[in-house]
Amino acid sequence: MLRYLTQIGQYFLMIKEVFSKPTKWSVMRGLLFKEIDDLIIDSLGIVCFISFFVGGVVSIQTALNLTNPLIPKFLIGFATRQSVILEFAPTFISIIMAGKMGSFITSSIGTMRVTEQIDALEVMGVNSLNYLVFPKMMALLLYPFVIGIAMFLGVLGGWMGGVYGGFTSSAQFIQGIQTEFIPFHITYAFIKTFVFAFLLATIPSFHGYYMKGGALEVGKASTVSFVWTSVVIILTNYILTQLLLA
């Protein structure tokens, strides 16, 4: 228990250190574009693929459970919209990204720690935490853009699964999408997304930066980082849902 409290304290001290003694903008600009390419652009393919097909599965599963002929078919579109926007796109894509982005961040920073590149940065008078972690935090400000694409493709996949699977008509599905739409649900999803983006940038960075050992420990740190990022995302999701929707 004491070890976990120590790590939590160390995590918050790390975040404080990230914002002190900033790196020159001429250097930071190059780092920022590299992180956008590595973390955001490289994630689009897997996010688009998963979102489209999971949206289709949600639509088909909903249709197969609506066995009572008195239940209107437009509920397929309604259920798909609610599932994708409220939970699937912001939360489950973030857990998948904890595996993809998180492992990449932890292993890249961990490798720098093992090969003493971080020590070299410190010797040169560079704030290594600002140099390594801050560009990742800035790049992940674009993460809601990824989740917006996931929402759109999830609903599109649901529409295609429902209509081309013969479970509902296009008009009924679109009616379901529009039924009792609450704009705040979009706001709620994007508030969660910004918080998850911060966690995705900082927790894997923490595990990479403070790891000890050699190449084998880099792999272990990536695994631990994925587990803890996922746990914190799920707990944060519960707290934010209670605060914003309850």
> In tens digits, what is the pLDDT along the chain, a chain of 246 residues?
888 888 888 888 888 888 888 878 888 888 899 989 988 999 899 999 999 999 999 998 888 887 777 778 888 888 889 889 988 889 999 999 999 888 999 999 988 888 888 888 888 888 888 888 889 999 999 999 999 999 999 999 999 988 888 888 888 888 888 888 888 999 999 999 999 999 999 999 998 888 887 778 888 888 999 999 999 999 999 999 999 887
3-state secondary structure of 115: coil
How many structural domains comprise the chain? 1
Sign (positive or negative) of CA dihedral 41, 43, 48, 51: negative
Residue 7 lies in a domain: no
Q: How many CA atoms lie within 13 A of 173 on its CB side?
A: 25
Residue 15 lies in a domain: no
**Separation CA 134–CA 32 (nearest Å):** 9
Residue 21 lies in a domain: no
Residue 216 lies in a domain: yes
If we measure between CA atoms, which residue out of 49, 57, 60, 58 comes closest to residue 83? Answer: 58
Residue 187 lies in a domain: yes
Cα-based angle 19, 33, 15 (whole degrees, multiple of 5): 20
If we measure between CA atoms, which residue out of 112, 113, 122 comes closest to residue 17? Answer: 122
- Kindly list the distances between the CA atom of residue 74 and the CA atoms of 83, 84, 149, 173, in Å, as whole numbers in the listed order: 15, 16, 23, 5
Q: Residue 77 sits in which domain range?
A: 26-244
Q: Among all chains, which residue has been given the structure tokens 């001429």?
A: 26
Long-range CB contacts (within 8 A, 24+) of 230-238: 230/95, 230/98, 232/199, 232/203, 233/91, 233/94, 233/95, 233/98, 233/196, 233/199, 233/200, 234/91, 234/95, 236/192, 236/195, 236/196, 236/199, 237/90, 237/91, 237/192, 237/196
Residue 49 lies in a domain: yes
Residue 84 lies in a domain: yes
Residue 72 lies in a domain: yes
If we measure between CA atoms, which residue out of 242, 156, 224 comes closest to residue 3? Answer: 224
